[in-house]
């Protein structure tokens, strides 16, 4: 079948692409698919190999392989089947139609197609090549302060997440007695169900995440953009933390923490996406992975706040001031995020999806600091969005999660990993470290110190995971650490049967700390 060029109207801007693909070896996940022939040898399976077309099942299977192969190829490099001249022509037409610098997009377009061959591109002058060379040789130094300001804001937002989780650990040493939970002489109605009350109060944020928060992620991002969604969730975190610190009954505290969870769900999904859409591909992996590192840092910060306010005494008409300050302190980093957001550019990809091309280019210019580099990344986003739209047009993406084997296996794998993350005990430990150490024989201040040690180890040992995940992959880290985590949980649990004494305290602490060391570089950054 001969190739033919067709003009695809990409939002009215004349984006031209090939409607047919040349006869090439079929590729799945970037590897050639081979097929067996007589005699036991193998040959590359051509994307249009019709040797078994007489069999309907073979034709159906062949068509499915073709579809996946071509889809992977187009999404890997949507400009790959165009000549440099066609790319420059299309990029110039796109720029002219949207009041963007034409020459910058001519250069940026061909650079998007051949990013590693910029030294050989005649259209680029020496100044352009010097700037691109500096980007390659110094991938971190070459970035703008606006990009690092965005990374800092995302890191602080991750710390908000961590503090929201951990400050309750120290606070629950104090508020149950004030609210009469577990005190039959004060509130007899709570005598037999105080454990359920404590559980639902501590777990209220995750309950809200599952029921409401996660489902708000898509509409918030669609309506308000990445910055808007993060602003709403940071505001919710700030208000609910202050609210929780002012409560006087357990059910009032439960409601405040439930509303806190409404903000946690969209924030945890939006912040990594915002970072990924703004950071250059060359350093995207390491910077996006900082979500886990700074969440761990926030957990440590929450334990530090518990220690800081432990000795705060009550004031007239204010009972339990120490635990109130512990809980309310988690609102401070949320306020920092709110203060940073007005100075950050919106995600260029989100602006492109909304058709706001001039704003998208201005945002990308703030992030890249160079017209050609901004045009390169913006035009690549444009053609990638067009290809994605063409691929999903007329198809049911939800059903394809189950009907396409590759999607189905990815969903099953990620579901198992996320279930393991929730079920492996780390969240219970984060929420109950002070209580666990207290039940092991620690004093209150010793339990808070031991909790802070857990948080510090969690933050420190998240760093090796960030440094090795690109080299070894998530799967290897998970397979290595999961068995160790299981054994350490068993070890720690059995240690509670040891008679009271220093040996029990030391072994329980050792088990929890070693478990944290195994979790942080594996399941921590290994979540999909």
For the residues of 144-165, what is the DSSP string, one character each? -HHHHHHHHHHHHHHHHHHHHH
Domain count, the chain: 3
What is the Cα Rg of the chain in Å?
Answer: 27
Is residue 68 a part of any domain in this protein?
A: yes
Q: Residue 317: its pLDDT value, please?
A: 85
Residue 184 located in a structural domain: yes
Candidates 516, 524, 518; CA nearest to 454 is 516
Both 157 and 37 in a single domain? no
Please report the pLDDT score of residue 436 as a whole number.
Answer: 86
Residue 34 lies in a domain: yes
Per-residue confidence at 139, pLDDT binned at 50, 70, 90?
confident
Q: Are residues 301 and 238 in the same domain?
A: yes
Q: Pick the closest to residue 80 from 54, 117, 45 (CA basis).
A: 117
pLDDT surpasses 60 at 172:
yes
Are residues 107 and 229 both part of a single domain? Answer: no
Q: What does the pLDDT read at residue 48?
A: 40
Q: Which of 47, 74, 101 is the last residue of a domain?
A: 74
User: How would residue 53 be classed by pLDDT, with cut points 50, 70 and 90?
Assistant: very low
End residue of a domain, out of 50, 74, 98: 74
Residues 277 and 176 in one domain: yes
pLDDT digits (tens, 9 = 90+) for 291-339: 888 999 999 999 999 999 999 998 888 889 999 999 999 999 999 999 9
pLDDT > 60? residue 62: no
Domain membership of residue 1 (yes or no) is no
Q: What average pLDDT does the segment 507-527 reach?
A: 83
The burial class, CB within 10 Å (0-12 / 13-18 / 19+), for 182 is middle
Q: Please check whether residue 400 lies inside any domain of the structure.
A: no
Residues 243 and 369 grouped into a single domain: no
CA–CA distance, 232 with 219 (Å, rounded to integer): 12
Return the higher-pLDDT residue of 21 and 57. Answer: 57
Task: Say what the pLDDT of residue 171 is.
Answer: 93
| Mean predicted confidence (pLDDT) in 79-83 | 86
> What is the rounded average pLDDT for all residues in the chain?
82
Q: What is the mean pLDDT of residues 420-435?
A: 82
Say yes or no: 384 and 510 in one domain. no
Q: Is there a single domain that holds both residue 30 and residue 58? A: yes
Where does a domain end: 46, 74, 102? 74
Please state the rounded mean pLDDT for residues 414-437: 83
Angle at 342 between CA 339 and CA 346, to 5 degrees: 130
- Which pTM does this prediction carry? 0.80
Same domain, 352 and 362: no
Q: Map residue 95 onto helix, strand or coil.
A: helix
Domain membership flag for residue 422: yes
Nearest of 396, 352, 343, 342 to residue 377 by alpha carbon = 352
Task: Encode 131-157: b = buried (16+ Cβ within 10 Å), e = exposed.
Answer: bbeebeeeeeebbeebbebbbbbbbbb
pLDDT band with cut points at 50, 70 and 90 for residue 24: very low
CATH number of the domain that residue 484 is part of: 1.20.1250.20
Task: Report yes or no on 258 lying in a domain.
Answer: yes
User: In the chain, what percentage of residues exceed pLDDT 90?
Assistant: 49
Q: 329 and 441: one domain?
A: yes
Domain that holds residue 177: 145-357+405-526
- Give me the phi and psi of 249, to 5 degrees please: -140, 160
Same-domain pairing of 413 and 389 = no
C-alpha distances out from residue 203 to 45, 250, 259, 346, 428, Å:
53, 13, 12, 33, 9
Kindly report the backbone phi and psi dihedral angles of residue 143, in degrees, each rounded to the nearest multiple of 5, phi listed first: -85, 155
Indicate if 122 and 213 belong to the same structural domain.
Answer: no
Among 31-40, 302-311, 421-430, 473-482, the range of highest mean pLDDT: 302-311
Residue 288 covered by a domain: yes
């Amino acid at each position: 079948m001969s190739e033919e060029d067709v003009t695809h109207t990409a939002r009215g801007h004349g984006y031209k692409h090939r409607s047919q693909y040349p006869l090439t070896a079929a590729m799945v996940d970037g590897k050639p698919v081979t097929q067996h022939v007589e005699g036991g040898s193998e040959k590359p399976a051509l994307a249009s190999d019709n040797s078994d077309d007489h069999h309907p099942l073979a034709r159906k299977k062949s068509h499915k392989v073709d579809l996946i192969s071509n889809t992977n190829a187009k999404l890997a490099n949507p400009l790959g089947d165009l000549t440099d001249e066609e790319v420059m022509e299309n990029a110039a037409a796109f720029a002219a139609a949207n009041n963007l610098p034409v020459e910058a997009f001519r250069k940026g377009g061909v650079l998007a197609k051949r990013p590693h061959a910029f030294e050989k591109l005649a259209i680029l002058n020496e100044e352009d090549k010097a700037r691109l060379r500096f980007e390659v040789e110094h991938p971190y130094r070459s970035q703008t302060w606006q990009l690092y300001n965005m990374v800092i804001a995302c890191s602080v937002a991750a710390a908000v997440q961590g503090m929201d989780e951990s400050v309750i650990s120290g606070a629950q040493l104090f508020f149950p007695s004030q609210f009469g939970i577990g005190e039959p002489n004060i509130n007899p109605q709570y005598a037999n169900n105080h454990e359920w009350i404590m559980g639902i109060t501590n777990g209220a944020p995750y309950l809200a995440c599952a029921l409401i928060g996660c489902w708000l992620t898509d509409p918030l991002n669609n309506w308000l953009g990445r910055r808007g969604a993060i602003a709403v969730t940071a505001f919710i975190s700030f208000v609910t933390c202050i609210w929780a610190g002012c409560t006087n009954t357990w059910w009032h505290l439960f409601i405040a923490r439930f509303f806190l969870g409404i903000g946690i769900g969209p924030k945890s999904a939006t912040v990594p996406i915002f970072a990924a859409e703004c950071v250059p591909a060359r350093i995207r992996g390491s910077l996006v992975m900082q979500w886990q590192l700074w969440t761990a840092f926030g957990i440590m910060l929450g334990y530090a706040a518990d220690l800081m306010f432990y000795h705060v005494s009550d004031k007239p008409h204010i009972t339990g001031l120490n635990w109130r300050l512990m809980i309310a302190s988690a609102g401070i980093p949320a306020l920092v995020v709110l203060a940073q957001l007005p100075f950050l550019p919106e995600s260029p990809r989100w602006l492109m999806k909304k058709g706001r091309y001039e704003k998208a280019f201005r945002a990308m210019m703030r992030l890249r600091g160079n017209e050609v580099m901004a045009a390169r990344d913006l035009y690549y986003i444009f053609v990638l969005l067009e290809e994605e739209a063409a691929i999903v047009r007329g198809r049911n993406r939800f059903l394809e999660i189950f009907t396409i084997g590759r999607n189905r296996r990815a969903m099953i794998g990620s579901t198992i990993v996320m279930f393991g993350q929730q079920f492996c005990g780390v969240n219970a430990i984060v929420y109950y470290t002070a209580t666990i150490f207290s039940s092991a024989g620690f004093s209150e201040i010793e339990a808070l110190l031991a909790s802070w040690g857990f948080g510090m180890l969690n933050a420190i040992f998240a760093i090796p995971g960030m440094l090795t995940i690109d080299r070894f992959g998530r799967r290897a880290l998970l397979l290595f650490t999961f068995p160790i985590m299981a054994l350490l949980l068993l070890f720690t649990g059995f240690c509670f049967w040891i008679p009271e004494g220093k040996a029990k305290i030391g072994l329980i602490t050792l088990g929890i700390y070693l478990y944290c060391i195994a979790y942080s570089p594996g399941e921590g950054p290994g979540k999909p």
